Amino acid sequence: MSKDLTGKIILEGKEYEYPVIVGTENEKAIDIRKLRADSGYISFDDGYANTGSCKSDITFIDGEKGILRYRGIPIEQLAEKSTFLCAAHLIIYGELPNEQKLNAFREKVAGRARLHEDFKHHFEGFPPKAHPMAVLSSMLNSIGCYYPEMSSNNREQDLEQFDEAAALLISKVRTIAAATYRMSQGLPFIYPRKDLRYVENFLHMMFTEPYHPYNPPKEVVDALDLFLLLHADHEQNCSTSTVRMVASGGANMFASVSSGVCALWGPLHGGANAAVIKMLQEIHDSGDDGSRFIRAAKEGKARLMGFGHRVYKNYDPRAKIFGQAAERVLKALGRQDPLLDIAHHLEQAALSDDYFVERKLYPNVDFYSGIVLKAIGIPVDMFTVMFAIGRMPGWIANWKEIAETSRKIHRPRQIYTGSAKRDYVPMSQRK
């Protein structure tokens, strides 16, 4: 709260004065919490584009400048120097871990990878073609049932168990993802190995066969680790806000992150990475180099998936990093992907086109990430699941922030635009 700054709102000739909140990076907000009580008015902000729903210490984004920082540290530095688990620790606990703390965290995560054997029956309850996001969301909530001491919906108790639950979720989300893939392919489940690091263990559970171990090339491991790190948090996006909303009612972490998965699923959010690859493939199959698609997007007949962002009005810094990673991993694997050429062409065409320039539409995180995942061998239906594995630390940190600091349930208001009061019509008189 700034002592010097206030903001005034004049409604029907009456003036109301409210304090101004200033963030670490000088972001300002007028605190209108008392506006309705004072004046009868609420603020209206469809899609919350101009609403600060919370104060948070976790992630900072400057969308105009294309800046993203986890706990103050620029994403470019983390992408170059950190690993996913190290960044997860930073996001959840606020500090980069020293060697001892990182090893302890790794150990804890590695030790919690196995699923209860009952889960085989849970998986059998799904049709083989079930979407992996539906399976993931159900399974994450189910895990809570096996750990009632961590999912009590009693804040104090759930917080006492926080370290355990956080490591468990970061670990098991990856086991569930791999098991879902194996189920969809009619393949036997592969048990995790404690001697493998986070990403290697995931790839082992995905691609090892009982008669043939999978030893991923280093480039694949590095690319996937980078993918997870770049998705680890992104302030108040649709899924994280959902996690916070659910947590605000007092729900435990398992239930809260399970809702986050559902929110992530849609094509305007995490589902965009799969939608981008489908779009690029369709462009390729139709013999277009992207020019026809750009025209259709400008006429409102198509949407350029992986482009545009509610907050970024500049390059999403993650898109830049992924663009380079896609080149790197394809080169290292000695592969070419015509979809990468189409993506480059689309990017260049859009960046020099008035429609996209005027609307400040730039590539976002999903534009190149699918090409990276495809090169690694992840099936398209699993792309958004990969996003969910990466976003888990962010959801957990946001759940913790709510559980530790917020006592208020999230409950927006609305402007009612339906029928005015009218009487109940008996069935015999209805038209």
Closest to ligand CMC by CB, 120 or 359: 359
First to last CA, the chain: 57
Scanning the structure block, which residue is given the tokens 């949407």?
303
Asked if 368 touches ligand CMC (CB under 6 A), the answer is no
Span near ligand CMC by CB under 6 A; candidates 11-19, 112-120, 149-157, 307-315: 307-315
Exactly one of 158, 233, 316, 366 is catalytic; name it: 366
Residue 267 has, within 13 A of its CA and on its CB side, a CA count of 11
Is residue 309 a contact point for ligand CMC (CB under 6 A)?
yes
In the complex, the smallest distance separating the C-beta of residue 419 from ligand CMC, rounded to whole angstroms, is 29
Encoding tokens for residue 172? 């098991």
Interface mask toward ligand CMC for 266-295; x: CB under 6 A:
--xxx-x-----------------------
Least distance in Å: CB of 237 to ligand CMC? 5
CA–CA distance, 321 with 315 (Å, rounded to integer): 11
CA atoms within 13 A on the CB side of 49: 7
Please identify, using beta-carbon distances, which residue of 244 and 309 lies nearer to ligand CMC. Answer: 309
366 catalytic, yes or no? yes
Q: Would residue 316 show up in a list of annotated catalytic residues for this protein?
A: no
Using the rule CB under 6 A, is 306 a contact of ligand CMC?
A: yes
Q: Is the dihedral of CA 329, 333, 336, 339 positive or negative?
A: negative
In the complex with ligand CMC, the residue whose CB is nearer, 297 or 402, is: 297
For the bound state, the minimum distance from the C-beta of residue 39 to ligand CMC, rounded and expressed in Å, comes to: 29
Size of the site for ligand CMC (CB under 6 A): 19
Which lies closer to ligand CMC via its Cβ, residue 158 or residue 366? Answer: 366
Q: Are 371 and 277 in contact, with CB atoms under 8 Å apart?
A: yes
Q: Which of 195, 309, 341, 345 is catalytic?
A: 309
CA atoms within a 13 Å half-sphere pointing along the CA-CB vector of 169: 37
Q: Closer to ligand CMC at the Cβ: 105 or 322?
A: 322
Near ligand CMC in 233-262, by CB under 6 A = 237
**Where does residue 420 rank: exposed (0-12), middle (13-18), buried (19+ CB within 10 A)?**
exposed
Q: Which residues contact 326 (CB under 8 A, 6 or more apart)?
A: 340, 343, 368, 371, 372, 375
Q: How many other CB atoms are found less than 10 A from the CB of residue 416?
A: 7
Pick from 92, 170, 329, 361 the residue near ligand CMC by CB under 6 A: 361
Strand ranges, E, within 132-187: none
Q: Is 318 in the site for ligand CMC (CB under 6 A)?
A: no
Nearer to ligand CMC, 70 or 207 (CB): 70
308 near ligand CMC, judged by CB under 6 A: yes
Closest of 278, 236, 190 to residue 50, by C-alpha: 236
Candidate list 105, 202, 307, 362; residue touching ligand CMC; CB under 6 A: 307
Angle at 119 between CA 265 and CA 400, to 5 degrees: 55
Q: Does 305 bind ligand CMC (CB under 6 A)?
A: yes
Instruction: Enumerate the active-site residues.
Output: 309, 366
List residues near ligand CMC by CB under 6 A: 237, 268-270, 272, 297, 303-310, 359, 361, 364-366
